[in-house]
Amino acid sequence: MLRITFTILAIVASTITLFTVNSIGINEWWKYIPMAGLILISLILWIAIPSSKRNRKPKTSDSEAQALNEEESLADLGILDIRPVDSDKSPADSEELLSDQKTQDAAADAPGVVQLSLLTETPQPSPGDTPTPYVPNNPLDKHILVPILQGFRAVLDAHAVGIIRPISDDYEYEVCGTAGFDWIRSRGESFVLKYNLLEESESVAIHPVGSQGLQSNHLTYSRKPASITYIGVASIGETDKLLIVDTITKSGLSHPRAKELLENLGQTLALLFYREDPNRPRHEIIYEEMMTARAEDKDLVFALVVPQRSETLAKMYGDFLDDIEKTFSDCLLRVDPNSRVIKFGELLYGVFKNCQKDALADWHHKVQSEIANQGGLLTGGAFIGAVAMTNEHQTADHLRDDAKRALIKAYEGPAETVII
């Protein structure tokens, strides 16, 4: 740019000098100095600064330019430094490694079992990992509990509904939540009833209030205890909490099916309060399901389910494994909301179903269809190894080992699901 500027100035100065040469005298030679100076400077610039140096620009190869454009586009999306696993290997090397891996799997006694990481305990995270397990909402949160209790109040035509918890042997109860306008004890406060509302052998009880039952002056939780006619109480599953309902009408809870309704409402709340212990030994869960099914004279099927691309997902998408597992378990629950789905290992889930063996074919198709509809990283379906409990299964290990054997056969193919 400097060279061009001085060249233009030299040309302009020379032109002016040539047009005025007739008016310049012999003693005015110094008027030629600007023209000569500009010409000299231009020549020096042309000679001293090589064109190759002035015009030199950093060259970028096509591959580098493409990588730069990709990095800029990823940065726009908030994604940086994404590289596939073993990206430095050629496609031929990858195919050769995949072929070798398949050969090793086919030669193994139990192909795929090692990769499944079949555990009887919940797998422990590796050092440095900070897993963020899915934590459901607290059922005692006001925005969750109050609408439920209001619904119960409407169903029972009750005056007030609440959840209480015994905190001492002197029949002192803590209030966990209420619905109604008559409670003078709020959440976290306690009251003494001086009466055992529910015997250990009972799951539900209805008490009249008055001379034939509870004394109204003992109902210290109520603003108008004298108006109460009946109190109903139901246990909430295996928790230490109780569902309490009171009425102010004479018919109140005298309906012949009031007890049944109260008991069912308590069981519904039990489902809400239930939380599976993530560290509970898996053989205990299997044994619990076996004993429950036999006590209730129900059929039981235990299935081990794993995504078909589990190894690839674990290797290439480890940072998103928690989300993938949550999506996978949700798919299994959507197929059968009444089943029990428990994590047994990395991307490996156990499913307990109360059904006959013949019903598993339909369940298999629904599972594969649900996973296919989910798409995304779960594309490819699932391998399923299922076993129907028989009298030969006396321990949890017997049932689990048969399910494991069925899953291995599913890995070997050609069927995606193997039922024993």
* pLDDT per residue as tens digits for the range 209-258: 887 777 887 787 887 787 888 888 998 887 888 888 888 877 777 677 78
Q: How many CB atoms lie within 10 A of CB 149?
A: 22
Report CA-CA distances (Å) from 51 to 54, 389, 401.
Answer: 5, 87, 80
pLDDT-based confidence at 102, cuts 50/70/90?
A: very low
Residue 126 is classified by DSSP as P
Q: What angle do CA 336, 341, 344 make, to 5 degrees?
A: 150
Residues of the chain with CATH 3.30.450.40: 142-273
- Token pair 């079992």 in the structure block, residue: 113
The tokens describing 330, both together, are: 């949700």
361 pLDDT exceeds 60?
yes
* Topology (CATH) of 142-273: Beta-Lactamase (3.30.450)
The pLDDT of 337-343, averaged and rounded, is 88
The tokens for 346 are 């990395």
Highest mean pLDDT among 66-70, 117-121, 272-276: 272-276
| Fold topology of 282-419 | Alpha-Beta Plaits (3.30.70)
* Higher-scoring residue by pLDDT: 124, 311: 311
One-letter amino acid of 177:
G
Q: Determine which of 72-76, 113-117, 263-267 has the lowest per-residue pLDDT on average.
A: 113-117
For range 98-110, the mean pLDDT: 42
Q: Where in the chain is the domain with CATH 3.30.70.270?
A: 282-419
Tokens, residue 386: 């299922």
For 95-122, give one letter per residue: b (16+ CB within 10 A) or e.
eeeeeeeeeebeeeeebbeebbebeeeb
Whole-structure pTM value: 0.43
Task: Supply φ then ψ for residue 160, to 5 degrees.
Answer: -150, 150
Beta carbons within 10 angstroms of residue 173's beta carbon = 23
> How many CA within 13 A on the CB side of residue 138?
5
Chain mean pLDDT for the chain:
73
Name, of 7-16, 107-116, 120-129, 281-290, the range with top average pLDDT. 281-290
DSSP 3-state of 286: helix
Question: What is residue 131's predicted lDDT score, i.e. its pLDDT?
Answer: 41
Angle between helices 33-48 and 2-19 (to 10 degrees): 150
Residue 49 has pLDDT above 90, yes or no: no
Give the 3-state secondary structure of residue 384.
strand
Nearest to 202 by CA among 158, 273, 259: 259
> For residues 373 and 73, which has the higher predicted lDDT (pLDDT)?
373
Contact 188, 175 (CB under 8 A): yes
Give the pLDDT mean for 310-330.
Answer: 83
Give the model's pLDDT for residue 41: 75
Cα(327)–Cα(127) distance, integer angstroms? 25
CA 311 to the chain's CA centroid = 19
Alpha carbon distance 374, 379 (integer Å): 8
**pLDDT value at residue 221:** 81
pLDDT at 43: 76
402 pLDDT above the threshold of 90: yes
